[in-house]
Amino acid sequence: MVEKENNKESLPEISIEQLEEGVQHVNNPIIGLMPIEKRYLKSVKEYVQNNNNFYFSDGEARVEVRVVSDEIIRVRLAPHGTFLEEFSYAVNKPEQRVTVFSFDEDEDKYWVKTNTVTCLISKKDFLISFQDNQGLVTNEDYTTMHWEENADFGGYYVYCTKKCSPEENFYGLGDKPTGFNLRGKRFQNWNTDTYSFAKDQDPLYRSIPFYIGIKEGVSYGVFLDNTYKTHFDFGHQEHDKTSFWADGGEIQYYYIHGPHMMDVVKRYHTLTGTHPLPPQWALGYHQCRWSYYPESKLKSLAKNFRERKIPCDALYLDIDYMDGYRCFTWNKKYFPDPKRMIKELLNDGFKTVVIIDPGIKVDDNYWVFREGKENKYFCRRSDDYFMEGHVWPGRCQFPDYTNPEVRQWWGGLFKELVEVGVAGVWNDMNEPAVFGSGTFPNDVRHQYDGHRGSHRKAHNVYGMQMVRATYDGLKKLQKNKRPFTITRAGYSGVQRYSSVWTGDNLASWEHLRLASLQCQRLSVSGVSFCGTDIGGFTGEPDGELFTRWIQLGVFTPFMRAHSAGDTREREPWSFGKEYEDINRKFIELRYRLLPYIYSAFWEQHRYGFPILRPIVMVEQDVKTNLVREEEFTFGDKILISPVMEPGQTSKVLYLPAGKWYDYWTHEPFEGGMEHTVATPLDSMPIFVKAGSVIPEWPLMQYVGEFEPDEIKFQIYYSDYEVNSFYFEDHGDTFAYEQDIYTEKKFVVKGDATMLNIKQFSEGLYTPRYETYELKLIGLPFIPSKVYIDGKEQNQDLKFDELKRVIIHANKNFRNIEIFK
């Protein structure tokens, strides 16, 4: 952004946004049209304290500094002294967790201080800064917060500009399709249907106005809770400034202190929530296409999966399953008996997921439109005409999902789909997308849960509130079963209701790399349950690209192959037997690792840990020249270095500090350095952290195919103590909310002569199996004695083909000691 000194005599300034979209003007009766003046905070004249809220004023504008927790402080600006009514779709009334806070002042500053962070307000110029308890200033204003009046809509354009240190780096902001570090770049948040999006294209489908900065080895976060079009500049225009601004609403941002990136993300989740536990089947492999029809095509697809012994849990129906693209209807020509068909698919282990868009066809003979029209549930424009636009069904009207009454109605519309057996719902086109115009006009009005506003205010939350209505409806209709939903559009907090995918990508190696970066970025931005269209939605992948994408997809939280109707079909067997065998091997790996994956979801839900963790999060002080951006860990135990180039037979990768094991060969590697490893087509570099306990299921063709008789654990030797978590429950109900689950913690530590494994357990769930098979990897000695809970075991020690030591133990053991 262009900045000037706060000088009343200077000419009115034009913002970057005005330069890009046309200067905003007011009509002066004397000199005609003139630019709107940008106004800045002046010196602080007074303050008032109300519990943990502090209000500072320059005589006209007011700033609120609110202590939310020991590590989170919120800042709000009211340009003329009156704050908007407190309301947020992102922050669901966070519980106050303030241990100690204090207020003080000296000649120059006010101090709002917690045990962890201090907010300083300069009396002379109203500059705000934050410092940690070691005195490091982590975040500080470059200029005071400022604003311009919006003559067209009322309200203000609001701005905040921070200092940007030379070594400071930035991460987050959702799934922007660019390099992982945002330094030197500019973005905007305005949910947009971007078919076949390109690298660095902006904006995309989601708006997540949350970023993480790392300065001098300390992490902090900034969450700008503003649903209007927002903009972020990370040293792009001027290298020493970081700016964020919005086309309306308030400056309302949360400063979130670390000092580690993981701390920042966890604390962001305390504001915006975590994912509810998904049904376990939703973590399996999903197959989708625009579109699989008629019924015979879908049944043939299912038959191929089962006959070829390629695991799969869900098949998708795109818009062609509907009658004339009317939502909540069936094309009886293609699907004459949906209930029978879905039941037959379920008998073969397949869940059915259907698409539902927001556009409701204008047709008085169509029951959904008739109900919406009679109850005035559709969006209206400022002159009170209904908002209409053309999408797949033709002329459509659109529900106002910001109205709680409309959300309740919408959720009830899924009754018939649930009754015929539909297991999951995919909300698409909900940016909202409209053919021709792109989206709704700005003057469309929204109820906004009683805080009425135009589409400028509601646009970025429209898709989030749609999938919220979908999730709540399914939760009610499916009784105690967990809903599965997926949405294309969303805003911060959307993780409370849905999974996401990155939209209409391309079948290219560049987009394979972007897939890794976008999913990592979503994960650290609060949306861990994410994936991409494996193989690319548009374009034609060859067998190598599709297979490498399958390999990456095993380690994205949501794993779905999807393609456009004008492309060749792309199932795991579509490229010949060589590729089919490799794809089967990796999808089988996904299913064996599902208990580990499910446990990572539990840690996300309960503790706020992101599922995918970039290397800079795993090792915050890593040298930037060593980072391979495509590398990440799934949970905290398994590191992935996907293959991103055609014909690549080896690659250089970086392993974080510590000891690691090659998943395939169990060869040990030292961390904190680079290694060159082989990357044949039938493999991908996967490493496991020393000390890890990795649970594995016996191979299934779908989740719940049978009850395991025994759970396998791969235990990797370490000479330092390492903790691992394992979670299990019913897999598809909400009983875990009443403590009907088991969370187990394993503690592993060894030395040259022994390995010790401890197990701790909490929760009330009791699985049917009774024993574990423990496979010990990397022991520096040949065991001679095994003690389980103090009793020496007579069982013969076995070694498998990879020289793993195999022992068996009761699932409730507390302590195992293996001696040389």
**Fold: same for 18-272 and 707-819:** yes
Q: What DSSP assignment string belongs to 803-819?
A: --EEEEEETT--EEEEE
Query: Which of 431, 580, 588, 603 does the annotation list as catalytic?
Result: 431
Least confident interval from 66-80, 392-406, 614-628, 634-648? 614-628
Cross-strand bridge partners of residue 724? 746
Say which residues have a Cβ less than 8 Å from residue 29's Cβ, sequence separation at least 6. Answer: none
pLDDT in tens, 219-248: 999 999 999 999 999 999 999 999 999 999
**pLDDT value, residue 510:** 98
Angle formed by the axes of helices 295-307 and 338-347, to 10°? 0
Catalytic residue among 64, 193, 504, 729: 504
pLDDT at 569: 92
Position 19 pLDDT exceeds 60: no
Catalytic residue status for 796: no
Question: DSSP characters for 525-552?
Answer: TT--SEE-EET-SBS---HHHHHHHHHH
DSSP 451: S
- Specify whether 504 is catalytic: yes
For residues 611-628, average pLDDT: 89
Q: Which residues are bridge partners to 233 per DSSP?
A: 186, 243
Classify each residue of 124-143 as buried b or exposed e, where b means 16 or more C-beta atoms within 10 Å of its C-beta.
Answer: ebbbbbbbbeeeeebbebbb
Q: Which helix (H) or strand (E) holds 722?
A: strand 722-728
Question: Phi/psi at 163 (nearest 5 deg)?
Answer: -70, 145
> 18-272 has which fold?
Immunoglobulin-like (2.60.40)
Can you name the residues that pair with 651 across neighbouring β-strands?
A: 677
Is 141 known to be catalytic? no
Superfamily per CATH, domain 707-819: Golgi alpha-mannosidase II (2.60.40.1180)
Q: How confident is the model over 346-394, as pLDDT tens digits?
A: 999 999 999 999 999 999 999 999 999 999 999 999 999 999 999 999 9
Asked whether the predicted pLDDT for residue 564 surpasses 80, the reply is: yes
Mean pLDDT of the region 637-656: 97
For the chain, the domains span: 18-272, 287-357+413-579, 707-819
**CATH C-level class of 287-357+413-579:** alpha beta
Q: Considering only CA atoms, which of 275, 683, 656 is closest in space to residue 471?
A: 275
- The one catalytic residue in 148, 168, 428, 571 is 428
Residue carrying structure tokens 């792109």: 438
Neighbours of 785 (CB within 10 A): 12
| Band of pLDDT at residue 266, cut at 50, 70 and 90 | very high
Report which of residues 29 and 549 the model is more confident about. Answer: 549
What is the structure's pLDDT at 13? 39
Q: So what's the pLDDT on residue 37? A: 78
